[in-house]
Structures are given as C-alpha cells and as structure tokens.
Amino acid sequence: MVSSDMEEVLDGVRVILVTVPASAHRDLARAMAPYLQAGQIIILNPGRTLGAVEFQHVLRENGAPPGLTVAETETFIFASRRVEPGVSRINRVKRKVHLAALPAYRTASVLRQVRHVLPQFVAAANVLETGLSNIGAIFHPAPTLLNAGWIESASQFDYYHQGITRGVARALERVDEERLAIAESYRVRAVPARRWLAAVYGTRADDLYTAIQRTRAYGGLKSPASLEHRYVFEDVPMSLVPLADLARAAGRSAPVMESLITIACALTGVDWVKKGRTLSSVGLGGMGVEEIIDFVKVGLRKVPHPQTRTTSSWNGETVASDAEAFMGPDAP
Amino acid sequence: MVSSDMEEVLDGVRVILVTVPASAHRDLARAMAPYLQAGQIIILNPGRTLGAVEFQHVLRENGAPPGLTVAETETFIFASRRVEPGVSRINRVKRKVHLAALPAYRTASVLRQVRHVLPQFVAAANVLETGLSNIGAIFHPAPTLLNAGWIESASQFDYYHQGITRGVARALERVDEERLAIAESYRVRAVPARRWLAAVYGTRADDLYTAIQRTRAYGGLKSPASLEHRYVFEDVPMSLVPLADLARAAGRSAPVMESLITIACALTGVDWVKKGRTLSSVGLGGMGVEEIIDFVKVGLRKVPHPQTRTTSSWNGETVASDAEAFMGPDAP
C-alpha cells in the first residue's frame, strides 16, 4: 500500500517504522497522534538525538492513546542513496543496528516483535545510548560549515576526501571528544568516530584524518549543493542542539558544538536552537543527569504540579513518589 | 640604514614606526625596551585591537624608561602587497588614517610631530576607537575559517569574490554588528563594514554580500594557501580575542566572535586565547568599562596595592585618587 492517508496507513498495524529526517519528527508525531492505537510500536529509524523523547512528548501533547511504545535506532538500517524522487538504491543492509525503546525496559519486547522481519536490530542500553551514538553529529555539520564558502560557490567536491582536510578533521575530533564526554556523564557507551570507522569500514589509522582518507566507501560522495541541506537543517537542530543541551544539563561544556551551532545560525540566518531539540522542548526541562537517566529507563518524569503527586511501582520496585507513569500499561 | 641591530636602529630617533603583524608586537616591545630613550614616540601601524595598550604594558614590564609615547593607527597606511621577500608593491597611499596615542591627550602632540612626513594621519578619539575600527577583524578570520576545507585542499580561489558567499557574508554581518555594539559600550565611533566599503571603494549596496561582490579592488585577491596565515594567527588572537574580551568586560555577549575563536582553536590545534590579547594579558584585568575608558584617555590605572595610593592631576583636573600615572612626565 502506498498512501498519504494517515488513518488508513496506521489502522491495525503493529509496528510503524518512521524513516524521515529528524527535523520532520515533530510534525509527523502531531499528524499521527489522532490515529494511533493502543499497543502499537513506533520505531524512529534513526532518531538522531532525543528523537524518541521528542516523538513521545509530542504524541502525548496531542492526545495519543496510552499503551504506545516509541523506540529509535542509532543509525539508518540501509546504506543507501536516493537515485531520483521515488527511487532509492540500497548499497548494503547494515548487519547490526542498535535500538532502544523509551522507556528502556520495553526494548526487549520491541526486539522480540520485530526480529522476524528486522533481525539486524540489537538492544542498546537506552535512548541516551542510541542518541549519543549519533555519528552524523560528527560527520555532517562541521565539515559542511567549515566548507560553507566552497559549498555556496556551487563547486562540487568530494565531501569526505576533499572537504575533510587535516584542520577540519582536527575540529571533528574535538566534537567527537565532547560527544564521548557527554556519554560518560550519562553512563552510556559511545564509540569514538575513529573506532567506528574501523568497525564499519575496516579502516585503521592513528588519527581521524587518515582514517577518513583511507575509507574507500567515502570516495565520490559529493558535497551538498547548498547550505539548505539536511547536514545543516537536520544535524544542527536535531543532533548538535540536543547534544549541547545534554552537556549543559550535566554541567559540562561543549564549546566546539556550541560554536558550530552559533556559526550555523549566523550563516543561514535561522535560529536553529529555537527550531531544535532541547531538553525543555522535548519535555525534560529542568531535569538533572539522574532524573534524565531515570526517565529513559523507566519512563517516569516529575509531575509538574506537586498536588498531583502519585506513587507508582515497576517490577516490584517503588519509584519516586514525585513522578508519574507516562505511557500507561505496558504494551502487549 | 638597514639593520637588525636594535640599539643602532633606535638610538636618537624621535619617531619609531612599527610595521609588523600584531602577533609580533609583544616580542618586539620586549626587544626594544632596553634601548628606548625618554621622549621617543612609537607608532604601531596598525595596532589591530589593544595594540598600543599591550605594547606599553610590555615596555613597562621590561623596564623601558618613562616619557615614551605609544600610538597606533586603525589600519596600515599603504594598500600594498609583498611581491617577493624584501620587495613590496605599494598600490596606493591611503588619504586618511586615524591615529590615537595612549593616553589620548597625547594624540595631538604625536600628530604635530609627524605631520611633515605623514600628513595622512588624523586624530581618533582614543585607542579604543582605532582598535574597534579594526576592519580586518571582520574581513579576515571568518571567511578563512568558513572556507577552511577549501583552503587546505590547496585550491586557490578569489578570497573576497568566491570565498565570501551569501552565507559567509551573513556571518560577517553578525560579527560586524557585535563589533559596533562593543564600540557603543565604550562610547567610540565605529563605521559599519558596509559603509566602510562605500567610503573607501565607493561600492554601495543594501547588504554586505552585494557590496563586497561589487568591490572591484577585491577582484583577483587570492585566498590564503593554508590556515597558517596572518588571517588566522594575527586576526584571531590580536583582533577577535581582545574584541570578545572587551565585550565581556562591558557585560555584552559576542557569540559569533567567541564561536569563531573556538573554531579557530579546534581547526589549528592552537590555543589562540592564551596566545592572544586579553584585558588581563595587556594589564587591564578586572577593569570595567569606565575604568578602561579612563585609562585610554589619561593613562592612569588603579594601583594594585591601596597603600601606594597617589593623587595626580592633568590639565587642571584632579584624577581618581586610586590611580597612578604610568608613563611619567609628558613627552616633549
């Protein structure tokens, strides 16, 4: 079935794969909310950073029924390119793609329900781990911004092999260090970009520059034709903005990420922070590290008005009395 | 006389023109200090931002005699390029170049003593005005950093006409707005970059991008061949760093300048803030706007130890009792 009728598409299906740029998640969640049915599973493929949290928050704000499960993957399952509108070429199906549900205790259940069609999906600790494994946050915005004049001069160049020079790679390493430090704050695993290249493409080198230059798969991948490209409009607001905000909530600074965001705003004249995912815009405003970790694990958040305090328990464990369960009874 | 013997060069001359990248001012001041003689005038041509303040501070730290006057110009008096080592081509002598002495009340005296050889020099209010009129801070670092990959790919391109695209020009406008806001805080005049192009080159347009594209004099000016270029190593530490610090002391933010500095550090692996001019490194640490303005006007600074308090007066006006005169008796 090919359809743009949301009600028709969603009716009676068990698992919904959402494969759009993360900048469209908010609008899509709003459009889906009225037609979702209890027990359905939504998988953002991928979520970028804080995707599942934002999606769930927008569903809730728009009256979606309880009993839904939102999950996200750390990267897209296909290595592919659009050939022309409506036609894509899939070069490769990735062998292993991490997935986490929100809350994390539902991850196993989601995997069980999709493994017959998507056996590539394996469990991540929680959506902080998938969000902090967002390698696009490293490889997409910085090289685009640090080649802004080249891109806007309408010259086409090899994005990775020509655009990522020694200096640009040095900047990427700094962004990557900031991402790894944030992951440490939230106690999740994140693989350094250089090790990721070794794992995915088998390219080994002592520094990121050499590793990228040796990655044959990157040969011939062309630069964006303008700054109006998802490397900016998706990866700045949906990757760098939430990463920098997670850093801030953990009392860490992420100066290179913050600078790239500011420069992206200056170059495009768009306020990407306002358009982007912040803890506050995804409903986690004011939370500290421990509260955020609790939230992604068990899906509980502090109740905004103390007079509505409830107590709840999960798996025999009593959970902070100042919290509420969001998604209702566990999905079947 | 051509000589590299500092003592021989400085002996008995009245006016010393210093024409080196601002990143060399500190070392040069240290080398000159032992050989300077009371009454001599040193003109930094140009000073970039806080040049005269740094120069005077380093002279003082290195035991230069009292009775010296340090001044700076807002830009270099020649429109010129080096053709080969030892040979320069002067395209044009600028008709009017602003100059200020530190302290400002000596500006008139400096101009009187140089006008028979350098009639182009005219008075600026003080060294904050010359430092905040530093147009290189706008046109040099941002386009270089936002074309970092292009530059490092060893492609040569027209720096102004190809490197300053619509997006890059948008970023320059933001940097320029920050500079104008700082000037306002310190109550000095600064001409917007777009109006500066109109005044100097006669190019008029509604936006900076169009004005730069219409500036014929910029045609054919080639991009730096690497990031190890004075557009980075001079203009980041000696222009952007002190401008951002002046903003901070005035309680203003200069987010785009700060971001460019951070990005420059990440790209080059050099700590430009540490190598650069800050209020603290030029001896004005901890001062607020009013103290800084007083300092550039009358050359007085707060005495670090209250027990050494002195009172002083100038032109019949009694000056803050908590201050000391720095440069000794007025130069003859």
Length of chain A: 332
Q: What is the nearest CA distance from B231 to chain A, expressed in angstroms? A: 15
- Within 13 A of A319's CA, how many CA atoms are on the CB side? 21
pLDDT of A80 reads 79
pLDDT of A321 reads 38
Q: Do A168 and B145 touch (CB under 8 A)?
A: no
pLDDT of A302 reads 54
Q: What is the pLDDT of residues B254-296, one digit of tens each?
A: 999 999 999 999 999 999 999 999 999 999 999 999 999 999 9
Residue A320 DSSP label: E
pLDDT-derived band at A79 (thresholds 50, 70, 90) equals: confident
The Cα–Cα gap between A174 and A176 comes to 5
- The DSSP result for A233-283, as a single string, is HTTIIIIIHHHHHHHHHTT---HHHHHHHHHHHHHHT--HHHHS--TTTTT
CB contact burial A272-292 (16+ within 10 A = b; e otherwise): bbebbbbbebbbbeebebebb
Residue A140 annotated among the catalytic residues of the structure: yes
Assign domain A136-275 to its CATH superfamily: N-(1-d-carboxylethyl)-l-norvaline Dehydrogenase; domain 2 (1.10.1040.10)
Q: Which residue has the higher pLDDT, B123 or A1?
A: B123
The Cα–Cα gap between B120 and B76 comes to 11
Answer whether A100's CB lies under 8 Å from A127's CB: yes
Residues 6+ apart with CB under 8 A from B132: B49, B179, B182, B183, B186, B188, B190, B243, B246
Answer whether B89's CB lies under 8 Å from B83's CB: yes
The phi and psi torsions of A297 (rounded to 5 degrees) equal -75, -50
Domain spans of chain A? 6-132, 136-275
In A125-240, alpha helices (H): 127-132, 136-139, 141-145, 148-152, 166-185, 193-201, 208-214, 230-233
Q: Does B233 score more than 70 pLDDT?
A: yes
Tokens 């992206």 found at: A264
Average of per-residue pLDDT across B53-59: 97
Residues 6+ apart with CB under 8 A from A324: A300, A301, A303, A308, A310, A312
Among chain B residues, the shortest Cα distance to A148 is held by B146
Answer whether B88's CB lies under 8 Å from B80's CB: yes
Average of per-residue pLDDT across B59-77: 95
CATH architecture of A6-132: 3-Layer(aba) Sandwich (3.40)
The Cα–Cα gap between A19 and A101 comes to 16
Catalytic residues of B: 140, 235
The phi and psi torsions of B184 (rounded to 5 degrees) equal -60, -40
Residues 6+ apart with CB under 8 A from B84: none
CATH architecture of B1-133+229-332: 3-Layer(aba) Sandwich (3.40)
Average of per-residue pLDDT across B147-156: 93
pLDDT of B155 reads 82
Q: What is the pLDDT of residues A256-301, one digit of tens each?
A: 999 999 999 999 999 999 999 999 999 999 999 999 999 999 987 6
The Cα–Cα gap between A56 and A145 comes to 31
C-alpha closest to that of A323 among A297, A313, A315, A331: A313
What is the value of ipTM here, to two decimals?
A: 0.88
Among chain B residues, the shortest Cα distance to A228 is held by B167
Query: What tokens does A105 get?
Result: 């205790």
A174 touches chain B (CB under 8 A): yes
In B46-192, alpha helices (H): 51-61, 107-114, 127-132, 136-139, 141-145, 148-152, 166-185
In degrees, to the nearest 5, what angle opens at C-alpha B95 toward C-alphas B89 and B100? 105
- The DSSP result for B233-245, as a single string, is HTTIIIIIHHHHH
Q: Does A171 score more than 80 pLDDT?
A: yes
Answer whether A187's CB lies under 8 Å from A165's CB: no
Q: Does B132 score more than 80 pLDDT?
A: yes
Average of per-residue pLDDT across A15-38: 96
Residues of chain B numbered 237-266 and touching chain A (CB < 8 Å): 255-256, 258-260, 262-263, 266
Residue A116 annotated among the catalytic residues of the structure: no
Answer whether B282's CB lies under 8 Å from B54's CB: yes
